[in-house]
């Protein structure tokens, strides 16, 4: 029997929150009412907020207090389409849409359903370069309405699969912590180094990408910016494209080659990446470090040095560690780099290569689990997961 499709607007009163005026400090100082923003929507369950408001702030604004069990979805911004279930009573800002709990649908069932149609929702969003999933769009979405028993079956199997994904993520995180521990064990704290130091510009060729804003086109050459450097890798999933003329022009001063290190200079500072494949992209607001064979520094050693608290110290000394972090080209060129003996650097590289082989196995397993999870979600909401749905 095919599940009945019902519009979310017929089941839920879909609403959003609001932001108390930032000009009135009484709305925020010593506040104890959780106030959720879209950046907080990172996990399935949400039990704490990054910011709090006062009772007066709630009364004097369009913010609303939503009960535990409310499902939130980010309507726009960097986390558009992300969802969470409240484990606490909380308010939200206006960028969060809220589905307060109802008897007919489990919050987890709605959460997984919204997750399964995330890309569809984003594609329906209006606003061109900055899509916006409006309340109207959300109200018009059809959801398969099945019994609570059937919903519970779907939630149970998806929870188990998500649990396996979480375990893999935790294992990968532990491996990343291990690499930093190995670094400190071999080289010691880079802020209290006993090794000779040199300015980075004296032992490498340090450049940066364009600061201009070339015109974006539908198809062309990728322009890599800070947002495309994630988790130690270059991601072209959400990249903008430029013309061949702009690509050639940018690469006259900042051509990326295999073996170079590139690193964000604005926003999420750090996260250096060693380029391992022939690059076909240009860079913008990204540092480029090229190595000189005559100097005793290994790219893997430098990558992990820049991935440590060493870089945070540089930011703080330069007074660039605020909300919008940035490093200038001069800051990077003037970094004093500890230079341990090459034999120690090479010993470190050998250990890291062994660790990374295991990390790659875990990442492959993680990707496989994500594929299984997505397949299960699609089958579940098409009524193909269980025979009684």
**Which pLDDT band holds residue 1 (cuts at 50, 70, 90)?**
very low
Rounded Cα–Cα distance for residues 103 and 90 (Å) = 20
Model pTM above 0.85 = no
Asked if residues 223 and 234 have their Cβ atoms less than 8 Å apart, the reply is no
Mind listing the pLDDT tens digit for each residue in 175-211? 999 999 999 999 999 888 889 999 999 999 999 998 8
* DSSP-assigned beta bridge partners for residue 221: 242
Q: Provide the mean pLDDT of the chain.
A: 92
Give mean pLDDT, residues 47-69.
96
pLDDT above 70 covers what percent of the chain?
96
Give mean pLDDT, residues 241-245.
95
**Which pLDDT band holds residue 318 (cuts at 50, 70, 90)?**
low
- Tell me which of 3.90.220.20, 3.40.50.2300, 3.40.190.10, 3.40.640.10 is the CATH number of domain 196-338: 3.90.220.20
pLDDT at 128 over 70: no
pLDDT at 296 over 80: yes
Per-residue pLDDT, 288: 96
What torsion, rounded to 10 degrees, do the Cα atoms 144, 147, 150, 156 define?
90
b or e along 220-239 (b: 16 or more beta carbons within 10 Å of the residue's beta carbon)?
bbbbbbbebbeeeebeeeeb
Q: 85: helix, coil or strand? A: strand
Domain chopping of the chain, boundaries: 4-145, 147-187+340-389, 196-338
pLDDT at 124 over 50: yes
Q: Which CATH class is domain 4-145?
A: alpha beta
Higher pLDDT, 193 or 163: 163
Q: Which CATH class is domain 147-187+340-389?
A: mainly alpha
pLDDT at 174 over 70: yes
Higher pLDDT, 231 or 145: 145
**Do 196-338 and 147-187+340-389 fall under one CATH topology?**
no
pLDDT above 90 covers what percent of the chain?
79
pLDDT at 379 over 50: yes
**Which pLDDT band holds residue 131 (cuts at 50, 70, 90)?**
confident
251 burial (CB, 10 Å; 0-12 / 13-18 / 19+) is middle
Cα 142 to Cα 112, 267, 313, 323, 347: the distances in Å are: 14, 38, 51, 40, 58
């Amino acid at each position: 029997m095919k599940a009945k499709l019902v519009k979310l607007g017929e089941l839920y009163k879909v609403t959003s929150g609001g932001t108390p005026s930032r000009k009135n400090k009484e709305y925020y100082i010593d506040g104890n009412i959780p106030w959720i923003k879209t950046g907080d929507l990172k996990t399935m369950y949400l039990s704490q907020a990054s910011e709090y408001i006062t009772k007066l702030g709630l009364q004097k604004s369009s913010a609303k207090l939503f009960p535990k069990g409310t499902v939130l979805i980010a309507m726009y911004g960097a986390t558009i389409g992300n969802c969470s279930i409240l484990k606490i009573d909380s308010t939200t800002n206006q960028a969060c849409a809220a589905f307060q709990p109802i008897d007919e649908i489990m919050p987890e069932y709605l959460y997984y359903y919204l997750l399964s149609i995330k890309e569809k929702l984003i594609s329906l969003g209006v606003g061109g370069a900055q899509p916006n999933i409006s309340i109207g769009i959300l109200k018009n979405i059809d959801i398969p309405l099945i019994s609570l028993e059937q919903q519970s079956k779907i939630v149970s199997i998806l929870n188990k699969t998500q649990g396996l994904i979480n375990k893999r993520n935790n294992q990968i995180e532990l491996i990343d912590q291990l690499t930093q521990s190995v670094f400190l064990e071999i080289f010691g704290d880079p802020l209290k180094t006993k090794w000779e130091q040199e300015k980075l510009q004296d032992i490498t060729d340090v450049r940066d990408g364009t600061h201009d804003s070339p015109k974006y086109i539908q198809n062309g050459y990728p322009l890599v910016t800070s947002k495309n450097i994630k988790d130690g890798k270059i991601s072209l999933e959400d990249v903008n494209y430029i013309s061949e003329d702009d690509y050639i022009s940018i690469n006259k001063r900042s051509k990326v080659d295999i073996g170079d290190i590139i690193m964000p200079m604005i926003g999420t500072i750090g996260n250096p990446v060693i380029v391992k494949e022939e690059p076909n992209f240009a860079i913008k607001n990204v540092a480029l470090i090229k190595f000189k064979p005559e100097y005793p520094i290994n790219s893997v050693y430098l990558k992990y040095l820049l991935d440590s608290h060493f870089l945070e110290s540089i930011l703080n000394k330069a007074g660039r560690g605020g909300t919008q972090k940035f490093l200038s080209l001069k800051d990077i060129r003037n970094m004093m780099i500890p230079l341990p003996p090459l034999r120690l650097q090479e010993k470190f590289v050998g250990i890291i290569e062994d660790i990374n082989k295991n990390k790659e196995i875990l990442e492959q397993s993680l990707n496989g689990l994500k594929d299984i999870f997505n397949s299960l979600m699609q089958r579940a909401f098409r009524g193909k997961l269980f025979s009684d749905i």
